[in-house]
Amino acid sequence: MSLRLYDTAARAVRDFTPLRAGQASVYVCGLTVQGPPHVGHVRAALVFDVLRSWLERGHDLDVTLVRNVTDIDDKILARAADAGVPWWAWAYTNELACTRAYDVLGVRPPTYEPRATGHVPDMVELVERLVERGHAYAVDGDVYFDVRSFPEYGALTRQRLEDLEPAADTDTDERKRDPRDFALWKAHKPGEPDTAAWPTPWGRGRPGWHLECSAMAERYLGPDFDVHGGGLDLRFPHHENEQAQSRAAGDGFARYWLHNGWVTLGGEKMSKSLGNTALVDEVVRRVRPVELRYYLVAPHYRSTIEFTDTALAEAGAAYRRVEAFVQRAAERVGAEHPAGLPEAFRAALDDDLGTPAAVAVVHDTVRVGNTALADGDDTATAAALGAVRAMLAVLGLDPLDPRWAGGGGDRLAEVTDGLVRLALDQRQAARARKDYAAADALRDQLTALGVQVEDTPQGPRWELTR
């Protein structure tokens, strides 16, 4: 196995050796469904979609990918109350919005997508193990993790306990053994919906955020698994607490930790609390989803992406150059030309999922293919097309994939193509009768609509320019 990945815990790039031969197990923190997703939210899903694809296509591994849904927490309860709707209805509405965002950007469904509310018995069992081992204690229906009982606490983020700030739930600090202890289980509070509480040995209540992922990861991947991933902002306290409670309970937990960088807007992390969001549903109304995917996949996963219309437009133009070659070449030599992945592309993705270098190989191959097209070299054109499509398949960006063809569904693509062909037929008829003014006017009208027309020996062809 030549794949190397940056492990946050080790602060170094490490050789990736799966726990079980021929298999890879990956857990990714999904979204807390307190609201509809913005572009920053979906970046992690895209990053691990590409990692999954590379493990499968590049290394022939059978991948089990788990991405959870956090459908119960303080913010969900608060926002549902403000909206005057049941918390579970609020959560499910936003869960559907997240699924819609994943789907529109071509993110494959995970192997399993568990909801937190569906795994309360697993969580209660995990808390009981921690209490029995002396790593957790109950106070008035709340259960806290005792950070001082676990000497490794802080290992993931390399922080000393004495340097850490107290946990967020400061209203109960006086009942904690240490102010940095964090909640595993939260007692039901007056005013909270009765439906947002479950019976436990400590009384009715609901899980703490950190507990959820540990329980669900163990349920679907076992006590030890390969990769745990998520956004950079989750390293502390969420992932630090996950690791501590799982290992204190006796599990080995994750062997590699991968964290993707932020998407920023105006120099700040994209965040609902700051109001600087770009909702996926809104962005894909002004840019094709495949171009948004390209924009988010092409940079290195650990880099920060500054979200601007200019950068988005540049990414769209770059993708359209690739798309134009694929379409022209497929028209010339046919779409199917199975090919292996170029070694430079393999080396790029094996080097900590280096998508910038991998995308550069795609564009280099496109340039070779365009030269072959211009020279009328069908053999070289077919070779380039096969290689480009093989690489784009790994990245989830193949223009001939049914999910992208037409940009809006097969029926819409069929209608759009028919309307443009009708205009092109009218243009051809105008040229045939030497009415060049009418022909030019038709072409100008198509250009204004974002349709670029190219006259070829095989007749006119068109493509979208925006």
Q: Is 72 helix (H, G, I), strand (E, B) or coil?
A: coil
C-alpha distances in angstroms, 409 versus 24, 59, 200, 401? 33, 32, 48, 11
Looking at the DSSP assignment, which residues form a beta bridge with residue 306? 264
The structure tokens listed for 202 are 């400590």
> Whose structure tokens read 């063809």?
405
Query: Which amino acid belongs to residue 293?
Result: R
Q: Is 275 helix (H, G, I), strand (E, B) or coil?
A: coil
Give the C-alpha separation, 401 to 403, whole Å: 5
Beta strand spans in 420-458 (E) = 451-456
Binning the chain into helix, strand and coil, the percentages to the nearest 5 are 50, 15, 35
The annotation status of 272 as a binding-site residue, yes or no, is yes
Q: Say which DSSP state 149 is in.
A: G
Q: What distance lies between CA 142 and its chain's CA centroid?
A: 34
The annotation status of 98 as a binding-site residue, yes or no, is no
Asked if residue 121 has a cis previous peptide bond (ω within 30° of 0), the answer is no
Helix axes 378-395, 39-57, angle to 10 degrees: 120
Order of strands, sheet of 62-67, starting from the edge strand that comes earlier in the sequence: 62-67, 23-28, 224-231, 253-260
Helix axes 378-395, 355-375, angle to 10 degrees: 160
Q: Say which DSSP state 255 is in.
A: E
Query: Which amino acid belongs to residue 232?
Result: L
The annotation status of 238 as a binding-site residue, yes or no, is yes
First to last CA, the chain: 41
Burial class (CB in 10 A: 0-12, 13-18, 19+), 112: middle
Q: Is 440 helix (H, G, I), strand (E, B) or coil?
A: helix
Give the C-alpha separation, 415 to 180, whole Å: 61
Q: How many residues does the chain have?
A: 466
At residue 214's C-alpha, the angle toward residues 209 and 218, to 5°, is 150
Which residues line the annotated binding site for Zn(2+)?
Answer: 29, 213, 238, 242
Which residues line the annotated binding site?
Answer: 29, 213, 238, 242, 272
Which residues line the annotated binding site for ATP?
Answer: 272
